[in-house]
């Protein structure tokens, strides 16, 4: 048979398969799309913005879900990130219980919310506490890492062959179950494999298997992606190639290989997008070898290439942002958003100071964001997050999501097309500007609507930075603007005099049609576009003229 007919046959079979699926009413499986170095998550075949929240760590039981859904609703979120724990699905070895997953998926459908499942398996915040008891305490079968002195530590070894086998089997059982219950509706849109992996206190495993692997040549796939910091050291053992970084890089490779094996086995059954999340290293500290200052071996920004080489089944590494300083947020977003790594802020503090970052994150084209602990379980993770536990904790995020939600689908398409930009007020409170298309957009913060009169005369409610704005350039001279506590102005890039043609305040309806509520003019435009504490959506059209 020549190649053309064989291809034609393959195409025919694929079409027949898709048609059969469509006939069964199945939505297409969620997947990632890359275009010119930008990314989208396709849900039901269309770009999707994850306006997410993450539940608390012990809310993965039916009895806890009521308080989760109540917070999800107040947050106007379209996605819930929630754990599924190995200990709960396989309490007895080989006997699986997915009743929580069934309840969760059914309730998510009732609430019209999508799910991102967090597989708490071998590692959760580096420790083994979510493994079943038959794993936790059998360290003959499921060995712990050894430190440099040969002492066992808290963390399970990535070289435990039986641990890998058992985790892979449990994860595959989960994906098999998901395929069975969710192949039509696709309520679950992504899976995070393990949680904040790596090791605190020890740079890597020093057990016998790890030591033997450490002496092996660095695999070609790693060499191809991660260059040596030592001039001329292009190949050899980890120590030869990576010098003072060898221990951390080797540990990253070991962790990533393990996670990649688990993920690949799950995807072979049911091919959902999969990712890992990261407890950050300080993005502003000068790069230096690990010195007990972050979790070694986790997918920190400096080892993303090693994760890519070792774990092709993982689509991207996602930052968990618990550093509220605006400079660190900027640096983190820049480090994790790459042509080969879609940006999803998998977790973020739920203190009010973080809400303004939603504008910046969605403006720069992320798949989405999910503040952690948006859940009315009686628990606060202060100082990482908010001191509050009630509606007032959710409100700063809820009002931003409420503004984005009606246009979330369009937003994802605009950001895939490279049309969006975003601002978050910096800790320095200074003005900022960005060029987009023919226009320069400038923003200022802490101003009265007619400008400031006295040195210390600031509007109430602006004591701490909480301003932000995101814009989508939907035409040559036309923008969708959404923001709060910010004053915006536009200048034509080529210096042509310009003025507003229309500044419509409104919203998108369920069919994606713009609905104008009123047109701003006079005081509302003479001083720039002042968006106050209530997030507002504007459709702005500008024009240029000749003097």
CB of residue 424 to ligand DGJ, shortest distance in Å: 21
Cα 134 to chain centroid, rounded: 32
- Cβ proximity to ligand DGJ: between 122 and 415 the closer is 122
CB of residue 373 to ligand DGJ, shortest distance in Å: 6
* CA atoms of 393 and 395, how far apart (whole Å): 6
* CA atoms of 369 and 50, how far apart (whole Å): 6
- Please pick, from the candidates 49, 168, 194, 195, the single residue that binds ligand DGJ as defined by CB under 6 A: 195
* CA atoms of 27 and 109, how far apart (whole Å): 14
H/E segment holding residue 113: none
- Cβ proximity to ligand DGJ: between 205 and 347 the closer is 347
85: β partners: 120
Question: How many C-alpha atoms does 62 have within 13 Å on its Cβ side?
Answer: 9
Binding mask 366-405 toward ligand DGJ (x if CB under 6 A, else -) reads ------x--------x--x---------------------
| DSSP-derived secondary structure for 82-111 | EEEEHHHH-SBTTB---HHHHHHHHHHHHT
CB of residue 94 to ligand DGJ, shortest distance in Å: 28
Subset of 302-331 contacting ligand DGJ (CB under 6 A): 320
For residue 223, the tally of other CB atoms under 10 A from its CB is 16
CB of residue 88 to ligand DGJ, shortest distance in Å: 15
| Angle at the Cα of 301 from the Cα atoms of 232 and 72, rounded to 5 degrees | 165
Is there binding between residue 196 and ligand DGJ (CB under 6 A)?
Answer: yes
CB of residue 164 to ligand DGJ, shortest distance in Å: 22
Is there binding between residue 332 and ligand DGJ (CB under 6 A)?
Answer: no
CB of residue 179 to ligand DGJ, shortest distance in Å: 26
* CA atoms of 116 and 186, how far apart (whole Å): 11
CB of residue 347 to ligand DGJ, shortest distance in Å: 6
Closest by alpha carbon to 298, among 372, 232, 200, 211?
200
Number of residues counted as binding ligand DGJ (CB under 6 A)? 9
- Cβ proximity to ligand DGJ: between 66 and 383 the closer is 383
Tell me if 79 sits within 8 A of 115, measured CB to CB: yes
* CA atoms of 29 and 114, how far apart (whole Å): 13
H/E segment holding residue 538: strand 536-544
- Cβ proximity to ligand DGJ: between 359 and 372 the closer is 372
CB of residue 259 to ligand DGJ, shortest distance in Å: 15
Is there binding between residue 57 and ligand DGJ (CB under 6 A)?
Answer: yes
Tell me if 185 sits within 8 A of 191, measured CB to CB: no
| DSSP-derived secondary structure for 123-158 | EETTB-TTS-HHHHT-TTTSPEEE-TTS-EEEEEPT
Distance separating the N- and C-terminal Cα atoms of the chain: 71
CB of residue 390 to ligand DGJ, shortest distance in Å: 17
In this chain, which residue has its C-beta nearest to ligand DGJ? 381
Encoding tokens for residue 225? 């992606």
Subset of 121-140 contacting ligand DGJ (CB under 6 A): 125
- Cβ proximity to ligand DGJ: between 104 and 481 the closer is 104
Binding mask 256-295 toward ligand DGJ (x if CB under 6 A, else -) reads ----------------------------------------
Binding mask 155-194 toward ligand DGJ (x if CB under 6 A, else -) reads ----------------------------------------
Subset of 81-110 contacting ligand DGJ (CB under 6 A): none
CB of residue 57 to ligand DGJ, shortest distance in Å: 5
The binding site for ligand DGJ (CB under 6 A) comprises 57, 125, 195-196, 320, 347, 372, 381, 384
């Amino acid at each position: 048979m020549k190649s053309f007919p064989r291809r034609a046959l393959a195409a025919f079979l694929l079409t027949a398969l898709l048609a059969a699926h469509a006939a069964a009413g199945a939505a297409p499986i969620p997947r990632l799309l890359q275009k010119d170095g930008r990314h989208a998550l396709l849900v039901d075949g269309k770009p999707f913005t994850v306006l997410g929240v993450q539940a608390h760590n012990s809310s993965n039981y039916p009895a806890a879900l009521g308080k989760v859904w109540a917070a999800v609703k107040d947050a106007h979120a379209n996605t819930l990130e929630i754990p599924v724990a190995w200990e709960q699905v396989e309490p007895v070895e080989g006997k699986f219980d997915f009743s929580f997953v069934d309840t969760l998926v059914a309730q998510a459908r009732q609430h019209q919310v999508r799910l991102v499942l967090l597989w708490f398996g071998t590692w959760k915040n580096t420790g083994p506490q979510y493994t079943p008891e038959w794993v936790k305490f059998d360290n003959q079968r499921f060995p712990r890492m050894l430190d440099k002195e040969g002492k066992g530590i808290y963390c399970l070894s990535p070289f435990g062959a039986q641990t890998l086998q058992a985790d892979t089997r449990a994860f595959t059982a989960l994906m098999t179950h998901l395929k069975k219950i969710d192949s039509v509706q696709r309520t679950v849109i992504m899976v995070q494999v393990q949680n904040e992996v790596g090791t605190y206190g020890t740079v890597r495993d020093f057990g016998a298997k790890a030591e033997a692997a450490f002496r092996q040549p660095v695999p070609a796939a790693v060499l191809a992606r991660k260059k040596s910091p030592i001039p001329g050291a292009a190949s050899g053992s980890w120590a030869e190639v990576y010098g003072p970084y060898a221990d951390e890089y080797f540990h990253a490779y070991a962790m990533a290989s393990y996670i990649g094996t688990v993920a690949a086995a799950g995807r072979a059954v049911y091919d959902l997008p999969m990712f890992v999340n990261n407890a950050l290293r300080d993005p502003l500290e000068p790069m230096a070898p690990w010195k007990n200052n972050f979790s070694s071996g986790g997918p920190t920004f400096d080892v993303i290439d090693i994760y890519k080489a070792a774990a092709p089944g993982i689509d991207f590494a996602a930052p968990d942002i618990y550093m509220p300083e605006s400079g660190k947020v900027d640096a983190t977003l820049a480090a994790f958003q790459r042509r080969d790594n879609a940006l999803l802020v998998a977790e973020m503090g739920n203190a009010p100071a973080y809400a303004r970052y939603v504008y910046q994150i969605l403006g720069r084209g992320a798949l989405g964001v999910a503040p952690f602990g948006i859940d009315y379980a009686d628990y606060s993770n202060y100082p990482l997050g908010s001191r509050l536990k009630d509606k007032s904790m959710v409100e700063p995020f809820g009002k931003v999501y409420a503004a984005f939600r009606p246009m979330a689908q369009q937003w994802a398409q605009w950001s895939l097309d490279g049309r969006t930009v975003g601002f978050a007020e910096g800790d320095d409170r200074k003005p900022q500007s960005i060029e987009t298309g023919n226009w320069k957009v400038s923003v200022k913060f802490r101003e009265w609507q007619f400008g400031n009169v006295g040195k210390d005369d600031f509007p109430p409610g602006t004591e701490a930075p909480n301003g932000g704005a995101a814009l989508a350039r939907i035409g040559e001279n036309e923008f969708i603007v959404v923001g709060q506590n910010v004053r915006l102005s536009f200048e034509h890039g080529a210096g042509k005099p310009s003025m507003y043609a229309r500044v419509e305040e409104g919203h998108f309806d369920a069919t994606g049609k713009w609905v104008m509520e009123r047109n701003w003019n006079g005081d509302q435009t003479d001083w720039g576009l002042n968006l106050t504490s209530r997030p507002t959506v504007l459709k702005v059209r500008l024009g240029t003229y000749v003097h």
